[in-house]
Amino acid sequence: MNDKQRSILLDISSRFSPPQGVKLSYGTSGFRADASLLESAVYRVGLLAALRSLKTRAVIGLMITASHNEISDNGIKVADPSGGMLTQDWEPFAESLANAPDSYTLVEILDDFVKKEKIALDGEWAAEVFLGRDTRPSGVSLLEAAKQGVASIVKANAKDMGVLTTPQLHWMVRARNKGLEASEHNYFDQLSSSFRCLLELIPQGSRIVGTNDKLIVDGADGIGAEKLESLKGLLNGLCVEVRNSGNGVLNEGVGADYVQKEKVVPRGFGPADVGIRCASFDGDADRLVYFLVQPNSNKIELVDGDKIMALFALFLEEQLSILNKSGDVTVRPNQTRLGIVQTAYANGASTSYLKQLGLEVVFTPTGVKHVHEKAAEYDIGIYFEANGHGTVLFSEAYLCYLEDINSNLSLTSTEKQKAASRLLAVSKLINQAVGDALSGLLLVEAILQHLGWSIQRWNELYHDLPSRQLKVKVLDRAAVVTANAETVVVKPSGIQEAINAEIAKYHKGRCFIRPSGTEDVVRVYAEASTQEAADGLAYSVAKLADQFLGSTNS
């Protein structure tokens, strides 16, 4: 690092002093905290993003959002060249930057890292970082801090992409690094055109009738509502009403996280909506769940991420079965690898249903970084968490195969060409960089119309097993070591045998514990054939965690 670069860093970073007594950790959500604590961290992540761009010779993204958290919180996360999350190898660097106590220590950390990674600060490549933020008021000042961070690295440029959903920014980074146009207009155009293509390929006779023609979307009073209002004008064949579009408080009594956890109607919904298909976004529109308002109650029938994944899997498997019929397709018949990736939090009924379809279901530890990486190993990989975050990934080789079929004029089966066209349209409609409520919503709607299903018919695919989640405050969450995608406790010794003994007492019982990634707690998840049994199993295992780990409640 030359003297000029060092001088710039010392000068600008001195204006962004870190808060005293605060230690930040970079997790799945990047850095997230009360917005008042984040200005220094956001500035420093701007530095990291510029270095990451120089290292990869690609555009990097920075998104300022706290997703489904309350409006007083905010956060910052990095989008890598693929549009996915920051590589885990750089997470320790992010934490060391954010927690450096002063400017001199910060510059030393930067200098050491630049040397270790052999990053050319004075090379020909000019770094480029796309910046986005959601609708939180604190995002305005934090965006300026991010700009200052990027500008503190010589030959680094920040481009403000505007107020966006998180998935839009990830999509733009991915598109730009593929050499494509990467504006919001391009994003809307790709979604609307691929949605239209899927509708045009619907078999004759498939349609949804009656009240199900209407879709009502809870926008969580966030950015997703604003973007859906813009997008719906480009859509034919879908009647959408957007509620909670910014007049209320972000994520307060609204949104996918609230709906999924509380299982009650969000603000602005009531008895007049009984029987109508409803959906809910979270604050930055990277989560999607559906629901039905129950009559004479504020309760809902939840159609969560597990069922969205089941719907996608059913449709994709149908198209693959058409392609794999014996006949005139000469390329890789019956060899397509369709993989379903779940975490231990997936409801057991969803796993059983997917396996009954003959699909390959695999499990990873909790966290998008784990499920996304595993899904990328397949020709088509699907992952969804119950909270409504997920997507579908297509390998480049498989997309080339589909293009070959689609353009093969010697095919005698137009059905095979239609199936290939549908799969190609899905690959363009779904956001392959990250979970996206807008693109996911359109894919759900296209598939329901293709199948001629109501939301009630979709919800009957299987019935969730009753479940219960608890958390136990412990002295040291690191004392819990797990294996087998966090379903088995290896340490402390003896606790897994005790958990197994409790599970054996319950019909269809399943339970696991895992350490939280952010709090000094152990999380408990339990399922059983009845709600009473699931509750009993969860509480009994929570007591075991208390006994073996020394709860702070003791």
- Looking at residue 538, which CATH number applies to its domain? 3.30.310.50
Per 3-state DSSP, the chain is made up of helix, strand and coil in percentages (nearest 5) of 45, 20, 35
What average pLDDT does this structure show over 364-381?
A: 94
pLDDT above 60 for 209: no
For residue 329, name the pLDDT band (cuts at 50, 70, 90).
very low
Q: Picking from 25-34, 246-255, 376-385, 432-441, which range would have the lowest pLDDT averaged per residue?
A: 25-34
Which residue in this structure is represented by tokens 């000094």? 520
Count up the domains in the chain and report the number: 4
Q: Which of 13, 40, 53, 67 is catalytic?
A: 67
pLDDT above 50 for 330: no
For residue 326, name the pLDDT band (cuts at 50, 70, 90).
low
CA-CA distance, 352 to 361, in Å (whole number)?
9
Tell whether 188 is covered by a domain: no
Predicted confidence (pLDDT) per residue in 81-111, tens digit: 999 999 999 999 999 999 999 999 999 999 9
CA-CA distance, 351 to 341, in Å (whole number)?
10
| Residue 413 CA to its chain's centroid (Å) | 37
For residue 554, name the pLDDT band (cuts at 50, 70, 90).
very low
Active site residue 493: no
Q: Picking from 205-209, 268-272, 388-392, which range would have the lowest pLDDT averaged per residue?
A: 205-209
pLDDT above 80 for 504: yes
Q: Are residues 330 and 438 in the same domain?
A: yes
What average pLDDT does this structure show over 262-283?
A: 96
Calculate what percentage of the chain has a pLDDT beyond 70: 95
Q: CA torsion 266→272→278→280, rounded to 10°?
A: -20
Closest CA to 132 of 225, 184, 223, 62: 62
What average pLDDT does this structure show over 436-457?
A: 96
Q: Are residues 318 and 424 in the same domain?
A: yes
pLDDT for res 175:
98
Predicted confidence (pLDDT) per residue in 15-31, tens digit: 999 999 999 989 878 99
Tell whether 12 is covered by a domain: yes
What average pLDDT does this structure show over 490-506?
A: 96
Domain boundary among 267, 302, 337: 302
The more confidently predicted of residues 521 and 513 is 513
- Other Cβ atoms closer than 10 A to 233: 9
Q: Are residues 63 and 155 in the same domain?
A: yes
Half-sphere exposure of 207 (CA within 13 A, CB side): 9
Predicted confidence (pLDDT) per residue in 112-124, tens digit: 999 999 999 988 8
What average pLDDT does this structure show over 446-457?
A: 95
Q: Are residues 451 and 320 in the same domain?
A: yes
For residue 327, name the pLDDT band (cuts at 50, 70, 90).
low
CA-CA distance, 517 to 519, in Å (whole number)?
6
Mean pLDDT of the chain: 93
- Other Cβ atoms closer than 10 A to 240: 18
Range of the domain at 334: 306-459
pLDDT above 50 for 56: yes
Calculate what percentage of the chain has a pLDDT beyond 90: 86
Domain boundary among 117, 149, 181: 181
The residues near 415 (Cβ < 8 Å, ≥ 6 apart) are: 322
Q: Are residues 338 and 206 in the same domain?
A: no
pLDDT above 50 for 474: yes
The more confidently predicted of residues 27 and 64 is 64
Q: What is the CATH number of the domain that holds 295?
A: 3.40.120.10
Predicted confidence (pLDDT) per residue in 120-145, tens digit: 998 888 999 999 999 999 999 999 99
